[in-house]
Amino acid sequence: MSVIPDSIRIGNGAGFWGDNLDAPIRLAELGALDFLTLEYLAELTLSILAHQRRLDPESGYVGDFPATVLRLIPILKAQPNLRIVTNAGGLNPAACAREVARHLTAAGMGGEKVAWVSGDDLMPRLAELRSAGERFRHFDSGEALGFFETAASAEGGTRESQGGVVSANVYLGAAPICEALDRGARIVITGRVADASLTLGPAMHAFRWGWKDWDKLAAASAAGHLIECGAQVTGGLLSRWQTVPDYAHIGYPIAILDSKGGCRITKPEGTGGVVSRETVTEQLLYEIGDPARYHTPDVTLDFTDAEVTEIGPDLVEITGVKGVPPPATLKVSCAYSNGFSAKGDLVVSGRDAAGKAKATGEMILDRVDQAGFPLRRKYMEVLGSGATLPGVETGAGDLKEVVLRISVWDKDKKAVERFCREISPVITSGPPGISGYAGSRPKARPMLSYWPTVVERDHVRPVVYVRGAEDLAE
């Protein structure tokens, strides 16, 4: 049996797909890590991956991750105890694992084990789950997700049933990650798991806590919640952003966990950004809803007695987080096809630019109506006049330059395409002072909408696969 360490260091080098490409490399080089996590997925990301998978069944995972592994190979060779845990598998963890295995094998690391976790993708089981009593009711409306019938859409019109659902992924917890690490995996690739579980899984593997040690699970999950968004806890998005040193070289976070359930947050020495009571408190409150009942698949956290204390430069300790059992249901993220959308921008300048922009936008939308295509949803913004800050006084009448942005949606692709064709004509058939039209014409794009719901925990069956990279790459 392996020796239980006193503490471990878990660094998170990505807070979303599109985060800084160099952050995982710098963190692994400088952080003296036991585990590197990379958190890529959001509801929007799953929709993008669903679209990619529809075009190519072998895609559907975060393409940046295998390239990141390729850059990390020298570090993995130099740090043989460093392991990687990520949700980069998206909708296709097996394909992502194969690509990673090919890189490892080509670099002479074919003996390393790569794991992937399946079971979060509920798409093949929707009919089975409906027969078992699942209705996948929407969090807000309570409406049941349609399967073999056509259901009313919240946006108006109708939403196709099973054919319109393009992804349905349940948020798994830390247990499959822990199992993969227990079985010797150097790299663990999951699909949709709860963000905090990426940190809890390594902690459960290292410390051998019981799955009902609720306060310890809560402490490690709190650490996962704090580092899941990358640099947000090291100064990113800080309210007093002017106080953050060297944003250009901001360091990414490290959670230091101990076997007794202690939790501290830091960052690599010599990097930019800051870890303070302020940065940690702002991130602690991020997206938690009820602070007394923050649900994860592994534990329900209670932050109401949490203490956040600076104990050194860029070193903050979090204590007092309590845990109770998790809910009987697990969150599910669904996406379904829902019409088409498009967006067009124009720069408008001159006297009363804001008024001119508004008149131009109304002109464009009126011409779409005249052509026989009354758009079901349309939204016009005059950027620079306070459009994104309702109620804020801007003195719009004094503005000499603004950006007109119009967004539209409709079930009918032809209606959206007509809108796209009505933007350019205002260059010569509208007011003077319009520019910014030199790029390509906007295009009607398929719209995927989000459907948040839950499924009974007992209906979810995660499966862990572990293979040697050399075997997997064949």
- State the Cα–Cα distance between residues 410 and 446, nearest whole angstrom: 10
pLDDT digits (tens, 9 = 90+) for 39-64: 999 888 988 898 898 889 899 999 99
pLDDT at 388: 83
DSSP, collapsed to helix, strand or coil, labels residue 197 as: helix
Q: Which residue's entry shows tokens 């009313």?
A: 152
How many Å separate Cα 178 from the centre of its chain?
22
pTM score over 0.85 = yes
* DSSP alpha helix (H) spans, 23-92: 23-30, 43-55, 64-78
- Taking CA atoms, 149 is separated from 161, 163, 186, 334, 447, in Å, by 6, 10, 45, 17, 20
pLDDT digits (tens, 9 = 90+) for 83-115: 999 999 999 999 999 999 999 999 999 999 999
DSSP, collapsed to helix, strand or coil, labels residue 392 as: coil
pLDDT at 161: 39
Whether 176 contacts 190, CB under 8 Å: yes
- State the Cα–Cα distance between residues 280 and 275, nearest whole angstrom: 7
Burial class of 16 by CB neighbour count within 10 A (0 to 12, 13 to 18, 19+): middle
pLDDT at 97: 98
Pairing between strand 263-266 and 315-319?
A: antiparallel
Q: What is the DSSP letter of 163?
A: G
Torsion-angle region of 391 (φ positive above 0: left; ψ -120 to 50: alpha; else: beta): left
Pseudo-torsion of CA 199, 205, 208, 214, nearest 10°? 30
163 half-sphere exposure, CB direction, 13 A CA radius: 5
pLDDT at 153: 40
Question: Among 196, 184, 182, 219, which residue's Cα sits nearest to residue 87?
Answer: 196
- State the Cα–Cα distance between residues 443 and 239, nearest whole angstrom: 37
Q: What is the DSSP letter of 1?
A: -
- State the Cα–Cα distance between residues 300 and 302, nearest whole angstrom: 7
Domains of the chain: 7-120+171-327 (no CATH), 339-450 (3.30.70)
Those residues of the chain that have pLDDT short of 50 are 148-163
Burial class of 450 by CB neighbour count within 10 A (0 to 12, 13 to 18, 19+): middle
Q: Count of CB atoms within 10 A of residue 57's CB?
A: 10
pLDDT at 393: 62
pLDDT at 162: 41
- State the Cα–Cα distance between residues 179 and 292, nearest whole angstrom: 29
Question: Among 460, 471, 472, which residue's Cα sits nearest to residue 134?
Answer: 460
Residue 289 is encoded by which pair of tokens? 């809803």
